[in-house]
Chain A
Amino acid sequence: MTKQPLLEATGVAKRYGAVSALKNASLTVLPGEVHALMGANGAGKSTLVKILTGAISSNAGRILVRGQERDIRSPAKARVAGLVPVYQEPSLIPDLDVLSNLRLTRTPVEPFREWVRELGVPDLDLREMARDVPLAIQRVLDLARALAVEPDVMLLDEMTAALPANLAERVLDVVKRQSQTGRSVIFISHRFVEISALCDRATILRDGETVGVVDIEPGIEERIVELMLGAKVEKKRVARKQADVDASVSAGSTRIAVRGLKVGTKLHDVSFDLRDGEVAGVVALEGQGQDELFAALAGSIRPEGGTIEVDGKPVHFHHPVDAIEHGIAYVPGDRTEALAMQQSVRENIALPFSAAFRNWGPIRMAREGATVQSAIERLQIDTRAQREVQRLSGGNQQKVTIARWIAADARTLLCFDPTRGIDVGTKQEIYRLLRQLADQGKSVLFYTSELEEVQLVCDRAIVIFGGKVVDILPVEIADEAALTRAAYGLSRDSKAEVGVLAEPHSAPEARP
C-alpha cells in the first residue's frame, strides 16, 4: 500500500453506559475504492458510520482524513472534512421543498440536478415538498445530494434496500463510476451480489471489533461469513430432554397459517405454518420485514395482501384486541412498549384487557391475585421491587411481559427478540419457559437476532430475506453458519458451488 489512505480510523470505541457498542474498530479506505463494511446484526456497523459522519462522538480512537486529524464532531464538520453519509432513512426535511433542502446543506443546485437525472429521475420538480416525494425517489435525492458536493468519502448505509430494481441498478452504476474519479465509497449492504459487483475490499466487524480486511474475489463470501461468526466455538448446546424432542416431533394441528402475506414496502410474500406445540424461530437480518410480519400477526398493522388463518379460519385483525381474542399475544423486544413502567408488577400482569377477568364492573381481586401469583411463581419473577416495574432488572421486566400472557392463557406467543439485553441466567429461564409452553400444546413464534438461540429453543427456523421466506431449516442443521448463510440469501449448500455470488436469488423459495 503505497497510496496514502483517504480515510484511516484506528481503535475507535464507543460505550453507552456499561454497554460497548464498539470496542476496537479500524477502517482504512484507499483513494478510488469501494469498500464494503460488513458484520452481523449488532456488530457495530451503524455505530461506526455514525461516528465517521459526526452523528455521534466516539470515546476513543483516531480518525485521519488524508493523513490529517480532522474535527468531525458534528455532521456539519464531517461534511466539511469530506465525509458525507447517505443514511438508511431518508434525511430530507419533510416540510421543506427540495430546493430549500439543498440550501440547508449548502448543496450546489446544478450538479444536484445533473446527478438526479443521471440516477434515472428525469422530471424532478425542485419546488415539490420533500414530504410529497415518493420514498424511493427520496433515497435517490439523498444520494444525489451527497454526490453533488463531491465528497472524498461517501458512506452508503443500506442504500439499495428500499429501491426498485431499475433504480438500484442506476445507483450501483453511479457509485462504481464515482470510484473511478479517485473518490471513495464505503458501502454497507446485506446483499453479497451487490458487494461482489461493486466492492474492492471489505472490512468485517464482529462484536464491535474489526476482525478482518479481505479483497473481494469470487468465493470470498465463505470467508466473510466465517469472519462475521468468529472462530467456530463449539456450541455448549443445552441438550434437550428426550421428552421435549418427542413433543416437538409429534406434529400438532396447524394453529396459524400465513399465505402470501404482504405488508408495507418491506414484506412481500411470506407463507408458513405455525403448529400447536412448536417453537418456530424466525431469523432475518435487520429490516428484512420481520417487524412488519409480527405487527401484522399481532393486529397492529393491516396487511396489503395475502391471508392469515387461525385454526383454519381466515381472520382480519383491525386492532390488537382482535388478535388477543384469538389467543395471539405479542411480546415486544422493547419492554417499554409493553409495560406501564410506573405501575406494580401485579397491575402489569393483570392489565384487565389481557387477563380478561371481566369486561365490565369491578375486577374480582381475589381471583386476579391468585392468577397473577401463579404466573409470578411460574416465571420466578423477583418481586422485591414489585411496586414499580421500572425498578426491576431488564430480565425481570421481560418476564413480566411474558407472565401477563401466561396469566391470560394465550395460546400463541409472538416473541420478538425477547432476550435482547438481558442476563444469561434469565435467558436460560426464558428458553425453558418457551419450551414448557410448547410442550403444553401452545405455539410460539420466536424472532431472535442471536442465532445461537435457534438451536437452544426452536423446532425449526424460518429465514426471511428481502421480505420473502428464503428457507425453512430443521433445527438439526440450523447452526449459526447455516443460518447466517441463509439470512444473507445464500443457498443452503453454497459451500460446494462456485460463483454463487452471481445468482443469490436462486435460493430455494418458501416451501409450504
Chain B
Amino acid sequence: MMRLLRQQGWVVGLLALLVVLLIVAKLIQPSYGAGDFGSLVRAVLPYAFAVAAQTVVVIAGGIDLSVAAMMALTSVTAAALMAGASEEFALLVVPFVLLMGFALGALNGILIVVSRVPDIVVTLATLFMLQGAALLVLNAPGGGSAEWLRNLIVGTVPIPVLPDTIAAFFPKALLLLVVLLCVVWIPLKRSRLGLSIYAIGSNQLAAFRSGVPVARTKILAYAFGGLFGAMGGLSLTMSTGIGAPIPGPYLMASVAAVVLGGVVLGGGKGGLLGPIIAVFVLRLARTILTLLAIDPNVTAIVEGTILVAVVMFGAFIAMRSRSR
C-alpha cells in the first residue's frame, strides 16, 4: 500500500488537484454541471490523444515534435475520404487512418535510428513534411464525417442502474477515450515491448546489454506514438465533422501535460495516467480562467506559471523524501 502510494503519489496528487479545480469551477459558476463537464471532455479528447502519443515517445527517451501535424494529416485524410461516402465506408476509413498513423510514426523512428540524427531534428523535419502533406490532401477545412462516428462522442453513456443526474456525468467521449487508451496501453505496458520501451529510455547502454533490440524498440515506440496521433486526428474529425489542414496547438500542450503528468523528459519514468489527468487539469484551469473573464493573454501566462510551479513543487517533494 505504501509502495503504491509512493509510486503513484504524483498521480494521486494530480487527481486531487483536478478535484479542487472542479470544486473551484462549481463555486465560481454555480450552474457548472454535467453538460459543461461533457463539453470539457469533448474539448480534451484530441489533447488527450496527443498527450498519449507524446508520452510513449518520451518514455522511450525521445520527443515527437510532429504530433500535431500528424493529427492534422490523419484528420484531413479521414475527412476527405468520408466526404460524401456511405456510412459503411467509414468502417474502412477508420482502420486505414489508424494504420497510416502507425506507419508514419514508424517512419519517424526509422529515420531517427538509421540517420542517427537527434529525435528533435528528425521530428521537426517530419513536422513540416506532414504539415505540407495535410495541405495537399485538403487545402482548406472541409470534407465530412460519417454520422455514426460523430455520434460516438455525443451525449452520455446510458447506465440503467444510475439515476439520470449522475449518469449525465459519464459522457460518451470519456468512455471512448478510456477504452481506446486502455486497449492499446495496457497490453503494451504488460508486454516485453513495453518493458523494453522503458528500458531504452532509462539507460540505453544497459538495455542493449540486457539484450533489448534498441533500434526496433525505438521504431515501435514512435509507431505507437503515430497510432495515438491518428486517434487524435480522428477525434478532431469526429468532433468538428470536417478536417482542418492547419495543425492545432497540440504539440506544446502535449509536452506540457507530459511533464506535468510526471513523465521524465529524459525518458524511462512515468506512466500514461498522469499525463492524461494533467491534460484535464490544464484544460480545466483554462476553463476557470475563462469563467473568471480574465484576458486570454493573461490566461496563457497563468497556465505557464501553473506548469512551472507544480513541477518545481514535485521536484522539491522528491528531493526532501530522498534526503530523508
Contacts and interface: CB of A to CB of B under 8 A. Distances in A.
Contacts of A299: none
Nearest to B264: A95
Interface of B: 3, 192, 195-196, 198-199, 201-203, 206-213, 268-269
11 contacts: A75-B210, A75-B211, A76-B211, A76-B213, A93-B268, A96-B195, A100-B195, A104-B195, A104-B196, A104-B210, A104-B211
Contacts of A53: 209
A94 B207 CA distance: 10
B207 to A, nearest CB: 6
Interface in A379-404: none
Given A75-B208, A103-B192, A93 B202 contact: yes
A210 B192 CA distance: 40
Interface residues of A, number: 21
B206 A92 contact: yes
Nearest to B200: A93
B199 A87 contact: no
Interface of A: 53, 55, 74-76, 79, 85, 87, 90-96, 100-101, 103-105, 127
A92 B205 CA distance: 10
Contacts, number: 58
Nearest to A145: B210
A104 B192 contact: yes
B209 A87 contact: yes
A334 to B, nearest CB: 18
B269 A93 contact: no
A104 B212 contact: yes
A55 B198 contact: no
A297 B198 CA distance: 38
B211 A79 contact: yes
B209 to A, nearest CB: 5
Contacts of A95: 198, 201-203, 268-269
Contacts of A92: 206
A92 B209 CA distance: 9
Contacts of B196: 104
A93 B210 CA distance: 9
Contact of B207 (A93, A103, A127): A93
Given A93-B202, A94-B268, A95-B268, A74 B195 contact: no
A101 B196 CA distance: 10
Given A94-B203, A95-B268, A101 B198 contact: no
B198 A93 contact: yes
A104 B194 CA distance: 10
Residue from A53, A85, A96 whose CB has the most chain B CB atoms within 10 Å: A96
B61 to A, nearest CB: 11
Contacts of A100: 195, 198
B202 A75 contact: no
Contacts of B209: 53, 55, 75, 85, 87, 91
Contacts of B268: 93-95
Contacts of B202: 93-96
A96 B268 CA distance: 8
Given A96-B195, A127-B3, A91 B210 contact: yes
9 A-B pairs closest in CB distance:
A76-B211, A95-B202, A95-B268, A93-B199, A91-B206, A75-B211, A91-B209, A93-B202, A104-B195
Nearest to A131: B202
Nearest to A79: B211
Contact of B206 (A74, A85, A93): A93
Contacts of A79: 211
A74 B213 contact: yes
Contacts of B198: 93, 95-96, 100
B253 to A, nearest CB: 25
Nearest to B201: A95
